[in-house]
Chain A
C-alpha cells in the first residue's frame, strides 16, 4: 500500500481516458492504493473527505509567467501569522491596566527570557507587514489584477489595509510610555474633530469622555481580539477567492491560440 497520502496522488483517470485498453498492472495498483487509506492520513481522509479539496487547492495550476511578485500576498500573510504568534507571547505577560501596563512592558523588555527579541519582532513585524501589504497592493494594481473577475478581492484587500493600519494605531498605545500615550491622545483628538460621527467615534475609542482605565482596555481588546479576528476572517475570504478564481496571469503574456488542445500535466 502506498504511503503517499491520497491528496498527493494524481487524480484518478477520467472515464474517457479509461476507455478501450484494459488497465495495466501499474494502473491497477495505483487505483487500489487510491481506495485504501495510508494509515492516519487515510483515516482522517475517509472521515473528513478533505482529499478533493486539498487536491484542488494544491494542484490547481498557476498561470504561465507567475513570478516573484506573486509571493507578496503570501508574505503579507506570513507577517500577519508572525504578529499573531509573537502577540500571543506578549499577551502572556502584558497587563492592560494604566498603572501596570508600563511596568509589564518593561518587565517583558528587561526580565523575560528573550522578551526584548519578541517585543522587537512584534514591533518591527508591524512595519514589515505594512510595507508588504502596500507592495502587494501595488503589484495587483500594476498587473491590472483588480479587474474582472477579481473586483471583490480588491475590495476585501482595501478593507484589510484599513484594518492593518488600525492595528498599528491601537497597538501603539499599549506600552504606555510618554510617546505612545500622547501620540494616541492626539490621534483620538483628530478623530474627534471629524464632522457628525467624529465625537462619537472618539468617545467609543476612549471608552468615555476622558482617557483612562477603559481606554487602555478598549484598545487592548480591539488590538488583540476584534481587529485580528476580522483580519483573519477576511484573509480567509481573500484566499478563497484567490483559489476559486485563480491568480491572474501577467498582463503582457498572450496565449498562443494553437495550444488550445488539452494538455497532460
Chain B
C-alpha cells in the first residue's frame, strides 16, 4: 500500500467507525453470548466424552501406540508421504517451518490494498488450497486406525509373534499387509530383504525415530524371538501376501 492508499483507508475507516455502535454494550453482549456457547460446548464435550486414562506409561514395555492429538494428525501424515530417510527432516521440520514463515510474514508480502475476499483471488485460492490440504491430511491420519492390529493371514506357528508385533505397536510406524502407518519402511515382505539376524539387530539397535526393543530381549527373550520369527516370515512367497483384489482385507 502506498501513502495515498493508506490515507484513503484510514479516512474510510474513521467514517465507518463513527457510524458504528459503542463496544459496550453491543459488542460485549455478542461476545458474552459467544462465551456462554463456548462454555456450554466445553462442558457438554467433557460430560459426553469424559477424560480417558489409558494404562500407565511404562518405558520398559513395548506396548507402543504413538497416536498424537487429532490436531497433529496432519504433521504425522506428512511424515508418511515422504519416504526416503534422507528426506525425513524435510517433512518433519522443513515443510512446517516454511509454511509457518509464509503464514507469519503474510502481511508483508501480500501487499494488495484490496480487502474484499472476492477481489483477492490469489490469496483466497491459496488459503482454500492450504485448508483443503490440511483437512485431507487430518482425515487420512484419522482413518489410519489404531496401530494395534495385524490384519493379514498368519500361519499358526507365527501367531504368537504376530500378537507381540501388534501389542509392541510396530504398526504405529510400519505397514504390514493393509494395516499400519508408513513412517518406517513397509514390512509386508521384509523377509525377502532382511534375514532373521538383521531384523533382530535392527530391533535392538535401530535408527531414530524407531525405539529400541532391547528391553524386550532382556526381559522376555521368548517373546522377542517369536517377534523376530514372525517378522522374518513376512515374505512374498508366503500365503499372506497373495493378491486379494480390492484390498478390503480380512
List chain A positions with a Cβ less than 8 A from chain B.
57-66, 68, 70-72, 74-75, 78-79, 82, 102, 105-106, 109, 116-117, 119-128, 130, 132, 138, 141-151, 154-155, 158-159, 161-162, 165, 168-169, 172, 175-183, 185-187, 189-195, 198, 211, 246, 248-249, 251-257, 259-260, 262-263, 265
Interface centre among B12, B23, B55 (most CB of A within 10 A): B23
Q: Decide if A193 touches B24 in the complex (CB within 8 Å).
A: no
CB A211 to nearest CB in B, in angstroms, measures 6
CB B6 to nearest CB in A, in angstroms, measures 6
Question: Which of A75, A105, A193 has a CB less than 8 Å from the CB of B53?
Answer: A105
Q: Decide if B71 touches A125 in the complex (CB within 8 Å).
A: no
> DSSP class of B's interface residues: helix, strand, loop or mixed?
helix
> Which of B107-115, B215-223, B231-239 binds A?
B107-115
Distance between Cα atoms of A139 and B153 in the complex (Å) = 50
Distance between Cα atoms of A193 and B37 in the complex (Å) = 42
A182 partner residues in chain B, CB cutoff 8 A? 57, 64-66, 169, 172, 211
Q: Decide if B34 touches A68 in the complex (CB within 8 Å).
A: yes
Asked if B56 lies at the interface with its beta carbon under 8 angstroms from chain A, I say: yes
Asked if B38 lies at the interface with its beta carbon under 8 angstroms from chain A, I say: yes
Q: Decide if B93 touches A189 in the complex (CB within 8 Å).
A: no
Distance between Cα atoms of A254 and B21 in the complex (Å) = 16
A192 partner residues in chain B, CB cutoff 8 A? 208-209
List chain B positions with a Cβ less than 8 A from chain A.
1, 6, 9-10, 12-13, 15-24, 26-28, 30-31, 33-35, 37-39, 41-43, 45-47, 49-51, 53-59, 63-72, 79, 88-89, 92-93, 100, 103-104, 106-108, 110, 113-117, 120, 123-124, 127, 131, 169, 172, 208-209, 211
Question: Which of B35, B39, B115 has a CB less than 8 Å from the CB of A251?
Answer: B115
User: Looking across the interface, which residue of chain B has its beta carbon closest to that of A246?
Assistant: B17
B117 partner residues in chain A, CB cutoff 8 A? 142-144, 251
29 A-B residue pairings within 8 Å (CB atoms): A57-B23, A59-B23, A60-B22, A61-B17, A64-B17, A64-B20, A70-B27, A82-B38, A106-B53, A120-B47, A121-B42, A128-B41, A138-B131, A141-B127, A158-B103, A178-B64, A179-B67, A182-B64, A182-B66, A182-B172, A183-B68, A185-B66, A186-B209, A192-B209, A193-B208, A193-B209, A251-B116, A255-B15, A255-B19
Q: Decide if B35 touches A75 in the complex (CB within 8 Å).
A: yes
Question: Which of A146, A193, A263 has a CB less than 8 Å from the CB of B18?
Answer: A263
User: Looking across the interface, which residue of chain B has its beta carbon closest to that of A169?
Assistant: B72
> Contacts A58-B24, A62-B21, A130-B71 hold; do A147 and B30 have CB atoms under 8 A apart?
no
User: Looking across the interface, which residue of chain B has its beta carbon closest to that of A128?
Assistant: B42
